[in-house]
Amino acid sequence: MSRICQITGKKLLVGNHVSHSNIKSKRKFYPNLQTKKFYVPEEDAWIVMKVSTSAIRTINKNGISACLKNAAKKGILK
């Protein structure tokens, strides 16, 4: 499974390591992903998702059902 948040769609970014002598070399910035179980009361089931920590905060604020609908509308979640 790739390193993409299933709610927000966050994925890796590419940038540079910059040394003290200003030499640049490529590096990757990975999102802070966590594997977490959520209970969906409409389906009466537990689902396991790979989500970023900011998405966990959004789910706590808005609820899992609203976040799943929003992600499906954006085309992130299928």
- Tokens standing for residue 24: 């640049």
Full set of structural domains in the chain with CATH = 13-74 (2.30.170.40)
Report the C-alpha gap between 42 and 67 in whole angstroms. Answer: 13
Give the pLDDT of residue 13.
96
Angle between helices 64-74 and 53-62 (to 10 degrees): 120
- Tokens standing for residue 9: 């769609």
Percent residues over pLDDT 90 in the chain: 91
Cβ neighbours of 47 (radius 10 Å): 13
Residue 18 has pLDDT above 70, yes or no: yes
pLDDT band for 76, please (50, 70, 90 cuts): confident
Give the pLDDT of residue 1.
59
* Average of per-residue pLDDT values in the chain: 94
**Residue 5 · residue 74 · CB < 8 Å:** no
Q: What is the pLDDT of residues 53-62, one digit of tens each?
A: 999 999 999 9
- Tracing tokens 């929003």 back to the chain, one arrives at 70
Give me the mean pLDDT over the 21-50 stretch: 96
Length of the chain, please?
A: 78
